[in-house]
Structure 1
Amino acid sequence: MTTKPIGGDRIWRGIVLLAVYGLPLFFILLPLCGFLVYSLFWVEGTELHHDLTLMNYRRFFGDEIYVPVLRQTVILCLEVAAICIGFGYPVAYFLSGLKGRKKYALLMLLLVPLLMSYIIKMYAIRSILGGNGFLNRALIALGIIDQPLTFFVFNLNAVLLTLSVLLLPFAILPIFLSLERIPKNLLEASADLGGSNRQTFFRVILPLSLPGVVSAASFVFVLAIGDFLTPQLVGGQNGFTFGRIIYSQFGTAFNWPFGAALSVILAALVMVAIVTGAWFGGGKAAVRR
């Protein structure tokens, strides 16, 4: 009979605890604290002052530009989340109803775009929606329009459509997993009690899949609100978002403390969205059950 050394168990347990708590602390919490401290510095000309001040936060709330842009960006990202849920739920529901390997083969096909380069996907969308893109050429060839449409290029509509297309797989997967967890005996019990397909969906399937819907919505919202590359490439001058403001502060404006303050504000908003999604998707659903 052999026994493991007690010291070896303690070392292994210490390594596991370091990986579980140390890595998130080092790679997530410390950078966020660094941003918070840096946001309290200030810049005058090209000189960085390390005196702690709330000047950057007062500038954010006092200027008439930043708060409206943040509000507009939040609305845009909520619309992206709604579109992804609206298109993602039927797809996830269809996939969950399939049987055998076909279900997971189609799911993998839907997730293949996630493996592609983000920039390549955006340029592909631009080639479709641009003034000389496939959509405009097709509509002109069919005689529907006389000149290229600019409704879906270099404005917030282009950002909305592009983000919705790019983030749609992130909405499908949580909803699909939520639908897969619904016990089949509940559906059989509903049918045995005389419930129609419509009644079963609205009274059994939809309520039980709401945690997945909320998780998908919060996931898409968080990814959309932190994106600055999509508005940069497809938004143009009329597609300005909060992420582009942060990007400009770290780039052309070279005002890193103010960019850090804007990043802290955005991070706080993201945390609120995550906690709200977890409460509605997890805790509140558990209370209902």
Structure 2
Amino acid sequence: MSQSASTALGKHTTTARPARWLLPIVVFGLPCVTVLLPLLTFLTYSFWSMEGGRPVADFTFDNYVKFAGDPGYVGVYFSTLWMTLFVAIFALIAGYIIAYCIWRLDGPIRNILLLSSVLPLSISYIVKIYSMRNILGFSGFLNQILVWSGFLSEPSRTFLFNQTAVTISMTMIYLPFGILPIYLALDRIPRSLIAASEDLGAYPWRTFTRIVLPLSAPGAVAGGMFVMVLALGDFLTPQMVGGTSGFTFGRAVWSQFGLAFNWPFGAALAVVLLLTVAALMALANLLVRRT
């Protein structure tokens, strides 16, 4: 090898080394800066205290003690868990039915319906909330249908500014997050298994319960978990459609940062919410492994 070739190879190796280290730094460093660093900041703030209206770096568990000893915050925490569980169940049932019906179709109509089911994800969140307010309102679409069909003699105000409105709105808003994982799980099921079951004389219900449902269970669990986690931290939907009856744990966290300016206590509530999400994800992982 000539001296010029050796020099060129050495320069190439020298320039390749920084490039080789740059990609891992970006891949692992960017999540650390954008995700882990804010979480560590919240965790640090949660052990601070407030003096004179300002956070003070004084290590204390008072914020967590305040949360655990306040029946109001504990009650809101468990009521939010209960409500989001119902939201996840309703979205899971509706999402599975929609995803299954789309999966059973063939041709272009299948892709069109799948695209239509996830299209709301591209719509502004505020637009979706106001759409739900128009549907559930006193003169909204739901009341008009119920009055027209004879179920109600006059429009009702029970569909807005209460927990029922929050549950319905969250279910509809987060439904696409439940449909997509379920459909992807169904789409991975080999059609040959369905055909073999039918050739062996199994009824459609038996094929569904013995083949389709078990193989799509991980997607169903993932879809339900997506919906529940998103609903658990939502504070805008309860405020817009729940009114005074829509106070959730997400609104409690937001109020400490946006109204009370008690960042240490708000950070403690956020950490409690984060630990709850981590526990739910661990539970979901356990359920997936057992299916």
What band does the TM-score fall into relative to the shorter chain? over 0.9
Match of 1:25 among 32, 42, 59: 32
Paired with 1:239 and 1:150, the residues of 2 have a C-alpha distance of: 15
The Cα offsets for residues 103-145 of structure 1, whole Å up to 9 and x where unpaired, read as 1121111111111111111111111211232333444456643
Counterpart check, 1:256 vs 2:256: no
Paired with 1:56 and 1:262, the residues of 2 have a C-alpha distance of: 8
Q: TM (normalized to structure 2)?
A: 0.92
SS of residue matched to 2:155: coil
Counterpart check, 1:160 vs 2:195: no
Counting only pairs closer than 5 Å after superposition, residues 65-80 of structure 1 correspond to structure 2 as 65-80=72-87
Counterpart check, 1:169 vs 2:169: no
Counting only pairs closer than 5 Å after superposition, residues 200-239 of structure 1 correspond to structure 2 as 200-239=207-246
Paired with 1:8 and 1:279, the residues of 2 have a C-alpha distance of: 46
Larger radius of gyration: 2
Counterpart check, 1:190 vs 2:197: yes
How much does 1:87 deviate? 0.6
Counterpart check, 1:134 vs 2:134: no
Distance change in 2, residues 1:73/1:194 (3 Å)? same
SS of residue matched to 1:43: strand
The Cα offsets for residues 56-82 of structure 1, whole Å up to 9 and x where unpaired, read as 000000111111111110111110110
| Letter of the structure 2 residue corresponding to residue 155 of structure 1 | N
How much does 1:284 deviate? 2.9
Paired with 1:41 and 1:188, the residues of 2 have a C-alpha distance of: 62
| Letter of the structure 1 residue corresponding to residue 290 of structure 2 | K
Q: Which deviates more, 8-17 or 120-129?
A: 8-17
SS of residue matched to 1:236: helix
Q: TM (normalized to structure 1)?
A: 0.92
SS of residue matched to 2:277: helix
Paired with 2:97 and 2:66, the residues of 1 have a C-alpha distance of: 44
Q: Which deviates more, 143-152 or 73-82?
A: 143-152
SS of residue matched to 2:55: strand
| Letter of the structure 1 residue corresponding to residue 94 of structure 2 | F
Distance change in 2, residues 1:142/1:217 (3 Å)? closer
Q: Specify the alignment match of 1:284 in structure 2.
A: 290
How much does 1:248 deviate? 0.7
Structure 2 unmatched runs, 5+: 1-7
Q: Specify the alignment match of 1:57 in structure 2.
A: 64
| Letter of the structure 1 residue corresponding to residue 130 of structure 2 | Y
How much does 1:46 deviate? 1.6
How much does 1:175 deviate? 0.3
| Letter of the structure 2 residue corresponding to residue 158 of structure 1 | A
Paired with 2:150 and 2:223, the residues of 1 have a C-alpha distance of: 39
